[in-house]
């Protein structure tokens, strides 16, 4: 018995010594560059569940929580994060616009670690979770689908959907209250992506009946998949059948797969009518490349990319719009400025046309400022394919070379970049006017940049500006009053309304807003 205990003691001591040596080696590998030193690795599940504990774990959603403060604390726009367990690793975290540009433009040196995107492979391979020749194939087919004609379709359909909501859902009501803005914006975004993305019309009155052969509507299937994706990723299928909620999750995934396969099969029959939705453009581009190596060769290729565009076009734009509307509700002066600008462009009270989009500069500025403050994706991982280095700068503008060994994970901290005072004056302040003058484009990456920039950027911007313009032109947006918070300060109210959590995209927690119909004078 004593022999076993002694053996166990020495094995434990040896393990601890080995971990310490590996930990010191990881620190040396990045030149002991300033930054976090923690027990638990960033990739460790336990670290994602624990709160922030000094020396143990950085805690949940720590990049958004601390914004640029962590870089100010360590004195550099690029920092390191070294951890000891379950394995020693060193990560480089970047909030330096020019170091980030170097990483994004050097795709061979810093490829995408596709293993981080396995959660997006439920329905097949896709452009986000791919690299190398596979990514080139998907991009060759997908890029032309996001055309100027599609942008016009997005605008026109968004205006129709909002007009339909004003007339047939809100009607003559002077005050409309929503307990959570996301419930409304997710529906709007779903209707837009349904028709402009896939030629599948989903309206305020339609899609209440479940189609023959299905057990769930398209709308409910997509919403449930979006809401419970991570649960589906980490819970085995055999366990999903144990509760009503998890059975519903499994059903939603099965139903969405069935809907997507039906869309593919329906479009295999040539249509006489020209269509400019993304799905039609995708199939047309695929057919044009059918004799070449760049082709989506099977239904898994198609369904994987269809799913990605559905999910990205649905959730990310909806959440961006929520933050935009909440910011305007909190900052009434900025909302009044936006309303006056919209009135100057649409002086006759008409609905905005696609040709007005470039004139609605303040709508675009407000949307961009919300994207700066609440980017849908807070961090972008990269990996070093070789031993290399990056140039880091400190608070005094001094530069130094930071070694980056082969295999090191780099994290492009979008939030840290967007709140870096080197590029943004008063970054914590909601100030849309900053986007009406000169600003650093390299320091604004809500849709990434370079070859791997989001293909749907223009889709999101077009939809967002149309929704924002339509709403503000006819309704004044306010925070819903709640007697429980009658005595709260403005700062407390702002923190409550803008509270968010990490999800597939940055997700608002609870946004109770009120929409008050403006009269003919815009009051």
pLDDT of residue 116: 77
What's the pLDDT score for residue 291?
Answer: 47
What span, in angstroms and rounded, lies between the C-alpha atoms of 164 and 464? 17
pLDDT at 455: 87
The average pLDDT across 131-142 equals: 83
- What domains does the chain contain, in order, with CATH numbers? 2-113+382-415 (no CATH), 146-336+455-517 (1.10.630.10)
Which residue is associated with the tokens 């550099």?
Answer: 76
What pLDDT, in 10s, does the model give residues 297-334?
555 667 777 777 777 778 899 999 999 999 999 999 99
- In angstroms, the CA 421 to CA 416 distance is 10
DSSP 206: S
Say what the pLDDT of residue 290 is: 53
Instruction: List the structure tokens of 194.
Output: 């349904």
Q: Is the pLDDT of residue 296 over 70?
A: no
Least confident of 19-23, 49-53, 135-139: 49-53
- CA distances (Å), 259 to each of 202, 262, 456, in order? 13, 5, 22
Which residues contribute to the annotated binding site?
454
pLDDT at 464 over 90: yes
User: What confidence tens digit (pLDDT) does each residue in 159-188 have?
Assistant: 999 999 999 999 989 999 999 999 999 989
DSSP conformation class of 70: H
Positive or negative torsion for Cα 294, 298, 302, 307: negative
Q: Which residue has the higher pLDDT, 459 or 194?
A: 459
How far, in Å, CA of 189 to CA of 193, rounded?
Answer: 6
Cα 67 to Cα 95, 115, 344, 415, distances in angstroms: 10, 26, 36, 6
Residue whose entry in the numeric block shows the structure tokens 């769930």: 216
Cβ-proximal residues to 370 (8 Å cutoff; 6+ apart), any chain:
320, 323, 324, 327
pTM flag (> 0.85): yes
Among 108-117, 137-146, 190-199, 474-483, name the most confident range: 474-483
The Cα 32–Cα 26 span in angstroms is 9
Residues 6+ positions from 224 with CB-CB distance below 8 Å: 216, 248, 249, 252
Look at residue 416 and tell me whether its pLDDT is greater than 80. yes
Q: 3-class DSSP state for residue 288?
A: helix
Known binding residues for heme are 454
Cα–Cα distance measured from residue 499 to residue 134, given in angstroms and rounded to the nearest whole number: 38
**What pLDDT is attached to residue 294?**
45
């Amino acid at each position: 018995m004593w022999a076993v205990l002694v053996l166990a003691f020495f094995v434990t001591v040896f393990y601890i010594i080995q971990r310490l040596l590996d930990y010191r080696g990881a620190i040396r590998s990045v030149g002991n560059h300033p930054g976090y030193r923690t027990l638990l690795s960033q990739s460790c599940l336990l670290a994602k569940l624990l709160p922030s504990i000094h020396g143990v774990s950085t805690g949940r959603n720590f990049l958004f929580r601390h914004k640029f403060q962590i870089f100010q604390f360590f004195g550099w726009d690029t920092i390191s994060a070294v951890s000891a367990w379950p394995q020693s690793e060193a990560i480089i975290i970047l909030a330096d616009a020019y170091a980030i540009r170097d990483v994004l433009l050097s795709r061979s040196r810093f490829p995408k670690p596709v293993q981080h995107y396995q959660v997006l492979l439920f329905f097949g391979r896709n452009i986000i979770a791919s690299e190398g020749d596979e990514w080139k194939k998907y991009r060759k087919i997908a890029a032309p689908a996001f055309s100027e004609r599609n942008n016009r379709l997005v605008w026109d359909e968004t205006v129709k959907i909002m007009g339909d909501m004003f007339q047939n859902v809100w009607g003559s009501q002077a005050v409309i209250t929503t307990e959570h803005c996301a419930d409304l914006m997710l529906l709007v975004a779903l209707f837009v992506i349904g028709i402009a993305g896939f030629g599948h019309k989903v309206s305020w009155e339609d899609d209440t009946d479940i189609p023959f052969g299905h057990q769930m509507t398209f709308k409910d299937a997509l919403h449930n998949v979006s809401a419970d994706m991570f649960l589906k990723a980490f819970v085995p299928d055999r366990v999903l059948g144990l509760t009503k909620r998890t059975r519903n999750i499994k059903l939603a995934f099965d139903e969405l797969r069935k809907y997507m396969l039906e869309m593919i099969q329906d479009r295999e029959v040539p249509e006489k009518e020209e269509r400019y939705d993304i799905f039609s453009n995708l199939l047309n581009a695929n057919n044009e490349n059918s004799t070449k190596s760049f082709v989506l060769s099977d239904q898994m290729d198609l369904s994987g990319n269809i799913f990605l565009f559905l999910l990205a076009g649905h959730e990310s734009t909806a959440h961006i719009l929520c933050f935009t509307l909440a910011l305007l509700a909190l900052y009434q002066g900025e909302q009044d400025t936006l309303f006056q600008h919209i009135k100057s462009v649409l002086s006759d009270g008409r609905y905005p046309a696609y040709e007005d989009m470039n004139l609605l500069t303040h709508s675009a500025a407000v949307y961009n400022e919300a994207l700066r403050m609440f980017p849908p994706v807070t961090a972008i991982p990269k990996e070093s394919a070789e031993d290399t280095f990056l140039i880091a700068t400190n608070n005094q503008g001094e530069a130094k070379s930071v070694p980056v060994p082969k295999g090191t994970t780099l994290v492009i901290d979008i939030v840290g970049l967007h709140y870096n005072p080197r590029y943004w004056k008063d970054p914590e302040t909601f100030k849309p006017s900053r986007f009406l003058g000169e600003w650093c484009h390299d320091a604004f990456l809500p849709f990434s940049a370079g070859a791997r920039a989001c293909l749907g950027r223009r889709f999101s911007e077009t939809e967002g500006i149309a929704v924002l313009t339509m709403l503000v032109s006819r309704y004044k947006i306010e925070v819903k009053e709640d007697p429980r918070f009658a005595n709260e300060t403005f700062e407390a109210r702002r923190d409550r309304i803008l509270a968010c959590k990490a999800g597939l995209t940055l997700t608002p927690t609870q946004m109770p807003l009120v929409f008050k119909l403006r009269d003919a004078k815009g009051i």
